[in-house]
Amino acid sequence: MKIAIVGGGAAGLMAAAAIIETNPEAEIFLIDKNEGLGKKVIISGGGRCNVTTGIQDVKTVLTKYPRGGKFLNSAMHKFPPKEAYEWFESHGVPLKIEKDLRVFPISNDGHDIVRIFEELFRRSRVVLLMRTQVVGLEKHGDGFKLKLKGSDDLAIDKVILTTGGQAYRQTGSTGDGYALAASLGHTITELAPSLSALLTQETWTAEISGLSFPNVKTSAGQFQASGPMLFTHKGVSGPAVFAFSSLVAFEKFDNQNPLEITIDLFPDKTAAELTRFIESFKRSNPKKSWLNILSQVVPKSLAEIVCRHLGLSAKNAGDVNKQDLAASVDWFKKMTIHVVSRSAGDEFVTAGGVNLKEVDPSTMQSKICSGLYFAGEILDIDGFTGGFNLQASWAAGRLAGASAAA
């Protein structure tokens, strides 16, 4: 049996590993445009590779996917985070679970994860066709013909498409797989960047660029996300913002029609609790400037912005009335920003992809074209930050490989 895997990212690597385990006699052709395997795997998590999540309850894990969670149910139960963790450790890479439940190699080096597969492939019947682009895919009888740029056609029994989305285009994820899937009858949903930083109309964020909060709550209409947040030169970033951007991936906004977002900088405190907290400083220090009082609550750089916006920069604590205090608390609890765009090139994953209705979730095989399988970001599946996207790729890739090799 000859099986071609198009795309050497996380899903493709794990699909090949699963084929080796399921059917050692199968001939595997792993095709990728890059010079090396797992380019996006290596750079994930800032180069440390956020391998998976430390959350072990599969039901909880599946809630971390704005799109595709239900579809992943079978694949995730067959290869949950716990088993993924054990698989990598059993192949010689010790892992660690950090406080935020993200999982990394103890070495903090994504290359170690990819080396597992490189060594596995060297010992197995895997033909690596690197720097090779698939420009056409045709069904031929019970098998397929792959048209390779600058090379002879390749006759194959089964094909697994794991070409990724169109995020991190410098790694080769340029959306080529969508055209291949469409050529065999599949439909591609609307595509959008997900997990990106957000740029705002407000320019004052540049004054506090680098300032972070460990836990905020972002909201706009029915969309809500929580977690750490970072102010940037042009807007906001960090896990809470990435999660929020995922939820609003298909919302349209620009300078003329910005998306208004409310941010609660202190979600663990009610407005009344925060008011009492600030009042205690106010009563004890009536002659201090209001700026100094608010600097007890947030860094001075942000307190200066709040005072300026509320016209309280010149006031002492004793001169601040109830309305001024309420406005200050309101600013912290309902900080409003207007998002005009996403940070170009920073999207970590693509929202949208091959329509999940056309793929069998129990095997990852196409319902339209027998012998064609999918896994990874090419599918209409995307998760929040925290190892969920790689975990989805490991799980779906493993199921696709095992199914194709059976």
Kindly report, residue by residue over 267-286, the tens digit of the pLDDT: 999 999 999 999 999 999 98
Beta strands in 106-201 (DSSP E): 126-129, 134-140, 143-148, 154-156, 158-161, 192-194, 198-200
CA 229 – CA 198 distance, rounded (Å): 11
pLDDT score, position 170: 47
pLDDT score, position 153: 95
Nearest residue to 398 (alpha-carbon basis) of 174, 160, 181: 160
User: What are the boundaries of each domain within the chain?
Assistant: 2-192+349-405, 196-346
Kindly report, residue by residue over 139-166, the tens digit of the pLDDT: 999 999 999 999 999 999 999 999 987 7
**Do the Cβ atoms of 373 and 159 come closer than 8 Å?**
yes
- Of 106-115, 165-174, 266-275, minimum mean pLDDT range: 165-174
Locate 181 and state its tokens: 């899937």
Q: Tokens 């109830």 identify what position?
A: 322
Note the CATH architecture for domain 2-192+349-405.
Answer: 3-Layer(bba) Sandwich (3.50)
49: left (phi over 0), alpha (psi -120 to 50) or beta: left
Kindly report, residue by residue over 20-64, the tens digit of the pLDDT: 999 999 999 999 999 999 998 998 888 999 999 999 999 999 999
Contacts of 131 (CB under 8 A, 6+ apart): 32, 33, 34, 35
Locate 199 and state its tokens: 């740029």
**pLDDT surpassing 90 at residue 349:** no
Kindly report, residue by residue over 206-220, the tens digit of the pLDDT: 999 999 999 999 999
pLDDT band at 172 (very low <50, low <70, confident <90, very high): very low
* Reported pTM: 0.91
- Computed over every residue of the chain, the mean pLDDT equals 94
pLDDT score, position 171: 47
Nearest residue to 172 (alpha-carbon basis) of 11, 9, 34: 34
**Do the Cβ atoms of 265 and 214 come closer than 8 Å?**
no
- Of 33-37, 91-95, 361-365, minimum mean pLDDT range: 33-37
297-323 average pLDDT score: 95
**pLDDT surpassing 60 at residue 345:** no
162-177 average pLDDT score: 67
Pairing of strands 192-194, 349-351: antiparallel
As beta bridge partners, residue 372 has: 159
Kindly report, residue by residue over 315-325, the tens digit of the pLDDT: 999 999 999 99
**pLDDT surpassing 60 at residue 169:** no
Locate 193 and state its tokens: 């960047």
pLDDT score, position 279: 94
Kindly report, residue by residue over 236-250, the tens digit of the pLDDT: 999 999 999 999 999
**Do the Cβ atoms of 260 and 284 come closer than 8 Å?**
no
**Do the Cβ atoms of 15 and 404 come closer than 8 Å?**
yes
Locate 323 and state its tokens: 């309305």
359-366 average pLDDT score: 98
* CA distances in angstroms from 221 to 244, 248, 261, 266, 304, listed in the order given: 12, 10, 9, 19, 29
